[in-house]
Amino acid sequence: MNILLKGGLFITKLDGKVAVVTGAASGMGKAIATLYGENGANVVAADFNFEGAEAVASEINDAGGSALAVSVNVTERVQVESMIDTAIDAFGDLNILVNNAGIMDSFEPVGEITDEKWDQIFDVNTKGVMRAMRKAINYWVDNDKEGTIVNTISTGGLNGAHAGVAYGASKHAAVALTKNTGWMYAKKGIRVNGIAPGSIETNIGSSMKDISEFGMERAGMTHGLSPRIGQAGEVAEAALFLGSDASSFVNGTILTVDGGWTAGF
């Protein structure tokens, strides 16, 4: 159930909160944005795919929620900062930031990765996350407000065999961003946590081109151990927990959501 009973009245877990969700047009981002909307949040659905983000926002609004769509390229600082400003201007505040946008590499090991591909992966998966976090953190600190950040990372940010070198390194860096920021701002009432999904049924593979046969063969040795493919909604439930007051004493940690895949190694 996504509804809590309090004082004889039904309330939702994110009642009145303002949440920005990047990569919201599809997959895990869509599932998170939709679930947040169902639970009372005012949702800013942000994505490079603006038509997809608009469709998600419309679904939330049609279901009785409150949402708007924003076009954002997370590799562009001005667009990232404008995304946060739009949320504050439209809904009067920012309470939750979900950094979900990300792209895969093509399983290239270090001997095959190009400078261009390395920079592209880090611009989206790491620098874009940092910039959104920086903007949100400074808003909260400057206005003496509390806030919550949820970063979608990956089991590839905890292990070395789930993708190529660029994706793995970018997600390891996102773990450091999460833990460092959670520690630094803990006394400010700001929480920062991450989710490390395992194999999830999404369209992230659409960003993969010219897949490395060598890298895929090596990574495939571990992927074959996954008990099953997870669903985006299962990740969204974890994001709902981390974004809500139910996780009020959870900070600077990474929640693994992989069906037990990585428990054995």
The structural domains of the chain, with segments of one domain joined by +, span 12-258
Strands 9-12 and 96-99: unpaired
Q: Is 36 a catalytic residue?
A: no
CATH classification (class only), 12-258: alpha beta
Q: What's residue 187's pLDDT? A: 98
From 36, 139, 167, 185, active-site residue: 167
The residue with tokens 């950040």 is 149
Torsion sign, CA atoms 171, 174, 180, 183: negative
The CA radius of gyration of the chain, in Å to the nearest whole number, is 18
The residue with tokens 């004082």 is 7
The residues with which 71 forms a beta bridge, in sequence order, are 47
Threshold 0.85, pTM exceeds: yes
Residue 90: C-alpha distances to residues 18, 66, 82, 151 (Å): 10, 11, 12, 23
CA 211 from chain centre, in angstroms, equals 24
Per-residue pLDDT of the chain (265 residues; tens, 9 = 90+): 344 444 444 446 999 999 999 999 999 999 999 999 999 999 999 999 999 999 999 999 999 999 999 999 999 999 999 999 999 999 999 999 999 999 999 999 999 999 999 999 999 999 999 999 999 999 999 999 999 999 999 999 999 888 999 999 999 999 999 999 999 999 999 999 999 999 898 766 666 778 888 888 888 778 788 889 899 999 999 999 999 999 999 999 999 999 999 988 8
| C-alpha to C-alpha distance for 41 and 64, rounded to whole angstroms | 11
DSSP three-state, residue 96: strand
